[in-house]
Amino acid sequence: MRTRFTAILSYVGAGLTLAVAACVPFYLIGAFTSIVAHAGLHVEATYTGGTVRQTIAREGYQILVYEPVRPRALQRVEPFVQIAFQPAAALPSRISDEIDLDGDGQPDVRVTFTMPHDPKALLQGDVVALNGKYLSLTNVGGNSFSRLLVRAGDGIIVRVPLNRNP
C-alpha cells in the first residue's frame, strides 16, 4: 500500500511540476519585458537606419530621410544615409526624386527606380550624387548592407553611402 501511495504521489508531483513549468514563461514574460525595457537596450542604427531627421511629403506618398549612420569600431559597414519611400502601395510606377539629405536646402541625390508589378521582385535603380558628400550608385539592389534598394515592410528603403573623402 505504501509503495502505491508513493507512486501516485510521485505522478501527481511530476504532473504539477510540468503544469508549473508550462505556466511560468507566461507569468514571467511581463516581468522580463519590463526588465529589458528599463535596461536601455536598443537595436543598433546600422540595422535600423538610425532616427528620422525629416519627412518630405510628396503627392500620395512621403519620403523619410534618416540621420547619417557612421559605423563604430570593428563594424564593417560604410557610413550611409537611409531614405524610405512610404507607403509602397501608393508609389507611382517610376520614381525620380531629388532629395536634400543634409537639410541645407539644396538637393544632394537623385534617386530613380521603377516599381515592379510583382511585389516580390527585386528592385533595381540608380542614385546620382549631386555633390561630393555622397557616392553615386548604378543598378543598386540589395547586394550590400550600406548600398541598397529594397522593399521592406510597407516601404522602399534606399541606403546612400557617404563619401569619406569629399
In tens digits, the chain (166 residues) has pLDDT values of 778 888 888 888 888 898 888 887 877 787 878 887 888 777 787 888 889 999 999 889 999 999 998 888 887 888 999 999 999 888 888 989 999 998 888 999 999 999 888 878 888 889 999 998 999 988 887 667 778 888 888 889 999 999 887 6
Q: What is the pLDDT of residue 22?
A: 85
Is the Cβ–Cβ distance between 89 and 113 less than 8 Å? no
Is the Cβ–Cβ distance between 84 and 63 less than 8 Å? yes
Query: φ, ψ for residue 92 (rounded to 5)?
Result: -65, 170
Torsion of the alpha carbons at 101, 104, 105 and 109, rounded to the nearest 10:
-30
Task: Provide, for the chain, the percentages of residues in helix, strand and coil under a 3-state DSSP scheme, each rounded to the nearest 5.
Answer: 25, 35, 40
Task: List the alpha helices (DSSP H) in 39-133.
Answer: 45-48
Q: What is the pLDDT of residue 166?
A: 65
